[in-house]
Amino acid sequence: MKALKNWLFPETALPTLLAIRPLAISMLEDMQVRPYVVPAVRIGDACKQAGVAWETFLQRMENLGIPARGSDWAHLPICRLLDFLTQEHRDFAETFIPAIKAGFASGEGRKDFLGTLHPLIKAWPAFSASLIEHMAAEEAFLFPKILRYAYCVKHHQVDPDFSDGSVKVFAAVHLMRGEEKQMVAISEFMEATAFSAFAGTMDAPAAGLFHLLETFQARLTEHSRMEREILYPLAEGLERRLYDIYINGGTDPRIANPELSPA
Ligand SMILES: [Fe+2]
Ligand SMILES: [Fe+2]
């Protein structure tokens, strides 16, 4: 997780806070701050308006833990799942990708390193770049949109902002394709690496890198499954409900609200 002191200032805009820590929306609700009324509001100003001292807010943020892996996501407010997935993106981008890159670099020039895997080493930068791009697209568009939808289902006087396209179309066209590409690429890497492992050609550094790749693949596969099987269906459900309410003049959103229904 990014250290708070590096990004959280009174001047930080509210959407930045929610992009980095989606779970903070629950705290803002407790403070009676309405995040989508003046979108670019600074956190310091929001705190002042809510009568919350900056130090108190910082302390609350310090105590805002990351939701635990394996939580019953489908029955929890969606901000928890978004927060978990966002923190995983940080792990992928800031821990796994650099460590794997360093692992490859350490074997550079050594003929015996990972035996036949030279093509894998060459393919890694393109794979990393496309994964980073994919995560950035999720964080820039999809996650904030879902967070806002969940908020609007609870607070139906707030505009859900359908102007920049729907979650359904975005998830189907853009992300699913990216998701599949990542999974195919990582499986190919692993098949090639496993072959080398099986052939018994790995020395200790190569075996360490192999283990790292295995862990990364397992985490990425589970992350992708959570997005496809839990997040996207929940998001589409929220979107359908909001469309029904705001466009087709359906019923009061508070009536079938998963965010409010008892666990
Ligand atoms: Fe993701
Ligand atoms: Fe994804």
The Å distance, Cα 221 to ligand 2 centre, comes to 10
Bigger pLDDT: 92 or 196?
92
Q: Can you give the pLDDT at residue 244?
A: 83
pLDDT in tens, 221-241: 999 999 989 998 899 888 888
The Å distance, Cα 139 to ligand 1 centre, comes to 8
Bigger pLDDT: 197 or 192?
192
The Å distance, Cα 15 to ligand 1 centre, comes to 18
The Å distance, Cα 134 to ligand 2 centre, comes to 6
User: Taking a C-beta distance cutoff of 8 angstroms, is the pair 44, 54 a contact?
Assistant: yes
Question: Which ligand sits nearest to residue 89's alpha carbon?
Answer: 1
Q: Can you give the pLDDT at residue 14?
A: 93
Mean confidence (pLDDT) of the chain: 83
The Å distance, Cα 138 to ligand 2 centre, comes to 7
**CA 51 to chain CA mean position, Å:** 31
Q: For residue 13, what are the β-bridge partners?
A: 42
Q: Can you give the pLDDT at residue 260?
A: 43
The Å distance, Cα 50 to ligand 1 centre, comes to 33
CA distance 239 to 233: 10
- The structure tokens listed for 30 are 């407790």
What number of other Cβ atoms are within 10 A of residue 255's Cβ? 10
The Å distance, Cα 110 to ligand 1 centre, comes to 34
| pLDDT level of residue 25 (50, 70, 90 thresholds) | very high
CA distance 197 to 214: 12
Sign of the Cα torsion 257, 259, 261, 263 reads positive
| pLDDT level of residue 253 (50, 70, 90 thresholds) | very low
The Å distance, Cα 138 to ligand 1 centre, comes to 6
Most confident of 104-108, 189-193, 223-227: 223-227
Q: Can you give the pLDDT at residue 245?
A: 80
CA distance 216 to 19: 23
